Copies of this chain bind each other. A is one copy, B any other.
Amino acid sequence: MAGQAILREVKLTLPMAPDMEIAASKTATAMAELMTMSPDKIDEVRMAVVEACINAIEHSRAHDRKVYLTFEVLGEQVPELLRITVRDAGVGFAPGEVEEPSIERKLTAERKRGWGLKIIRGLMDEVEIESGRDGTSIVMTKARG
């Protein structure tokens, strides 16, 4: 990834409101289509972006009630990688302390949720989370081919 140029950078700011993750997923789709990613991969990116936005909307408690997305197309000459950053200016969390969900435990647990990050990691190639007092950034990449 290092050494690759940013061929395109698109920024999207969404209000923390119902269904706004859909707007994010459409922009993700547009960017992935522009770099002619395969339809299945595009769909995976779309779902990962939806999950990241929902997390920001649901958990961040950001005062500005906004989600900031950046879509970057990276490559040496031709598009090779799509990098998406989903950022909020919320309270942050400690990713290392989030319990890894398992279906066996969830089946009997009261709280069935807690799958978002696992799904994002499963669908994208690389995922990095930076979180602290200034909020949370989740940076995820997917190769074109």
A residues neighboring B (CB under 8 Å):
8-15, 17, 19-20, 22-23, 25-27, 29-31, 33-34
Contacts and interface: CB of A to CB of B under 8 A. Distances in A.
A34 B11 contact: no
A63 B92 CA distance: 36
Contacts of A12: 10-13, 27
Given A8-B17, A10-B13, 17 more contacts: A8-B15, A10-B12, A10-B14, A10-B20, A10-B23, A11-B11, A11-B12, A12-B12, A12-B13, A12-B27, A22-B33, A23-B30, A23-B31, A25-B30, A26-B27, A26-B29, A26-B30
A17 B31 CA distance: 12
A121 to B, nearest CB: 25
B34 A22 contact: yes
Counted per complex, copies of this chain come to: 2
Nearest to A26: B30
Contacts of A22: 30, 33-34
A107 to B, nearest CB: 34
Contacts of A29: 26
A20 B9 CA distance: 10
Contacts of A34: 19, 22-23
